[in-house]
Amino acid sequence: MESVRPRACERARQLASERADADLSEFEAMRLERHLARCTACAAFAAQLDAVVGSLRSAPIARLSSPVYFPVVRRPRQRALQLAAVGTTLAVIAAAVAIGMVASGPAPHGVPYSDVVLSADNGRAELDSARLAAARASTAPPAP
Ligand SMILES: [Zn+2]
């Protein structure tokens, strides 16, 4: 089991990793070098890291025999959130249109928008009444 390293060593190893990516400021580089001069364990770690990075960077680029495709996986929750967002957007648009129709006075064809909005069920109430009457007629006993 590896012993717990001091915080300074953890930071030095982080800096050694960042140095491999050339992401160190001048101050950070100096700080790392000072630590490596005093700490043999971190110096060995940094040397090994530099060797691995150098080896990887000098290796030839591997060519794949066929392209690699990664499937696009949609998460169900993400899909549900997208649908909910679409539904909310449509509801807001419908409300805005209804408010605009009610507030803007008579329509060009002379019927007030408020009447248009109030009868926007496209005759569903009348259809329901007709269906109810038909259902009652079919279950009623035949007339004598
Ligand atoms: Zn150290």
Backbone CA torsion sign across 10, 14, 20, 24: negative
Is residue 112 classed as helix, strand or coil in its secondary structure? strand
C-alpha 58 – ligand 1 centre gap (Å): 28
| pLDDT for the residue numbered 99 | 79
Residue 74 is encoded by which pair of tokens? 């949609």
| pLDDT for the residue numbered 115 | 55
C-alpha separations of 53 from 11, 50, 65 in Å: 19, 5, 25
C-alpha 33 – ligand 1 centre gap (Å): 11
Query: Which one, of 123, 122, 120, 101, lies nearest residue 112 by Cα?
Result: 101
Q: Quick one: average pLDDT of 26-38?
A: 96
Query: The pTM is what?
Result: 0.44
| pLDDT for the residue numbered 52 | 96
| pLDDT for the residue numbered 130 | 76
C-alpha 8 – ligand 1 centre gap (Å): 6
Phi and psi angles of residue 76, each rounded to the nearest 5 degrees, phi first: -55, -40
C-alpha 38 – ligand 1 centre gap (Å): 8
C-alpha 1 – ligand 1 centre gap (Å): 17
Residues 136, 124: Cα–Cα separation, whole Å: 18
Please tell me the least confidently modeled range out of 14-23, 59-68, 109-118, 123-132. 109-118
Residue whose structure tokens are 């000072």: 34
Half-sphere exposure of 10 (CA within 13 A, CB side): 5
| pLDDT for the residue numbered 103 | 62
- Nearest 10 degrees: Cα torsion 117, 121, 123, 125: -120
